[in-house]
Amino acid sequence: MTAQIIDGKAFAATVREKVAGHVTRLKEESGITPGLAVVLVGEDPASQVYVRSKGKQTVEVGMNSYEHKLEADTSEEDLLALIDKLNNDPAVHGILVQLPLPGHLNEDLVINSIDPAKDVDGFHISNVGLLGTGQKSMVPCTPLGCLMMLRDHHGSLSGMNAVVIGRSNIVGKPMAQLLLGDSCTVTIAHSRTKDLPEVVRGADIVVAAVGRPEMVPGDWIREGATVIDVGINRIERDGKNKLVGDVDFESASKVAGAITPVPGGVGPMTIACLLANTLTACCRANGLAEPDGLTA
Ligand code: NAD
């Protein structure tokens, strides 16, 4: 079998188009422009690239982008004061604090100081609880992107066996909650899981979110399974720098029914879902109908 490639780049473009269309209508009908504030503390090079890309795409879909760049030695008090200001700014519908923060800042405290209704990353403890109890919440962007691709590919996920490898708060755990919400039978595997290959062989859906280059080989994959590869790993091969996922694409794509590539799979969906979440937050804040197909 040769797997169908799930093209995250193309899918993300359709999500952005949908968001842009809705933003245009929102502006025409209600005079409201959704706004996303991104806060970057320090000068981590990878974070700077992500923040630039987020700002650019926010403007491209017609939303307002507000970037706040703070010095690496910014005090917790000053950062919390900025978040308080953004929480109370009606032009700001989404707030994202780029992680990781410098070591002297308490990430949990900072994230939990964001108004949950504006927490477009879905990391606030209230949103985690709402998602866990199946209530309307802001959903973390990367798992939301994975869910959208799975729904698009399968239609209903009901009754499918899903194995999520990785139990992080950002990807693994919310991914498992979303799959459970769509009536999958979910297993969360992690670094202490016994006989991981056998666990993965039982899956109709495999979501790999580990951060270990190509650790999942094709002979762990059940024939015809759908594989979502969240991993982004930079490696050197044949003297060149390369991005690879957590799944060995070459062997897995010979067995799987469908698979996301790295790059061009889950990655592009993450920012597209951030824009979708900002639009959703804006609609909720103004008591307007939420766009279809852009939330969990
Ligand atoms: P993390 O380090 O927080 O969590 C990794 C998880 O993998 C842990 O729960 C750990 O138990 C598990 N793990 C480690 N070794 C294992 C092993 N040998 N067997 C089974 N499980 C093992 O990482 P994260 O933030 O969840 O990110 C995971 C990967 O996804 C990284 O490569 C990251 O770069 C990528 N990522 C991509 C996006 C995107 O937009 N595509 C977004 C977030 C993270």
Q: How many residues does the structure list for the chain?
A: 296
Measured from the CB, is residue 191 less than 6 Å from ligand 1? yes
Annotated binding-site positions for NADP(+): 166-168, 232
Beta bridge partners of 242: 235
Distance 127 CA to ligand 1 centre (A): 21
| Per-residue tokens: 192 | 């202490």
Count CA atoms within 13 Å of residue 86 on its CB side.
30
> What's the whole-number mean pLDDT along residues 124-148?
98
The two structure tokens encoding residue 283: 């609609």
| E strand or H helix that includes residue 10 | helix 8-30
Q: pLDDT by residue (tens digit) across 55-98?
A: 999 999 999 999 999 999 999 999 999 999 999 999 999 999 99
Residue 1 is predicted with a pLDDT of 73
β-strands 240-244, 233-237: how paired?
Answer: antiparallel
Pocket test for ligand 1, best of 173, 188, 191 (most atoms within 8 A of CB): 191
Distance CA(96)–CA(144), nearest Å, equals 16
Q: What is the mean pLDDT of residues 262-281?
A: 98
| pTM (2 d.p.) | 0.98
- The answer to whether 121 is a known catalytic residue is yes
- In this structure, the number of other CB atoms found within 10 A of the CB of residue 113 comes to 19
Q: What is the phi-psi region of residue 118: left when phi exceeds 0, alpha when psi lies from -120 to 50, beta otherwise? A: alpha
Domain boundaries, the chain: 31-117, 141-266
Mutate to test the pocket of ligand 1, among 47, 146, 230 (most ligand atoms within 8 A of CB): 230
* % of the chain beyond a pLDDT of 90: 100
User: Is the pLDDT score of 193 beyond 80?
Assistant: yes
For atom 19 of ligand 1, which residue has the closest CA?
191
CA distance 159 to 85: 45
Q: Kindly report, residue by residue over 214-227, the tens digit of the pLDDT.
A: 999 999 999 999 99
The pair of three-digit structure tokens given for residue 260, joined into one six-digit string: 């996301």
Binding-site residues from annotation: 166-168, 232
The SS3 assignment for 231 reads coil
| Average pLDDT value for residue range 156-161 | 98
Whole-number pLDDT of residue 140: 98
Write out the two tokens for 129. 């609880």
Residue recorded with tokens 């050197």: 236
DSSP reduced 3-state for 206: strand
> Average pLDDT of the chain?
97
Distance of alpha carbon 207 from alpha carbon 284, whole angstroms: 30
What is the per-residue pLDDT for 187? 98
Cα of 173 vs centre of ligand 1, distance in Å, is 11
Which listed residue (18, 57, 98, 182) is catalytic? Answer: 98
> Is 177 in the active site?
no
Q: What is the predicted pLDDT for the residue at 96?
A: 98
Residue 170, pLDDT score: 96
Q: Do domains 31-117 and 141-266 have the same CATH topology?
A: yes
What homologous superfamily is domain 31-117 in, according to CATH? Leucine Dehydrogenase, chain A, domain 1 (3.40.50.10860)
Q: Would you tell me which CATH number, out of the four given (3.40.50.720, 3.30.1130.10, 3.40.47.10, 3.30.160.20), belongs to the domain 141-266?
A: 3.40.50.720
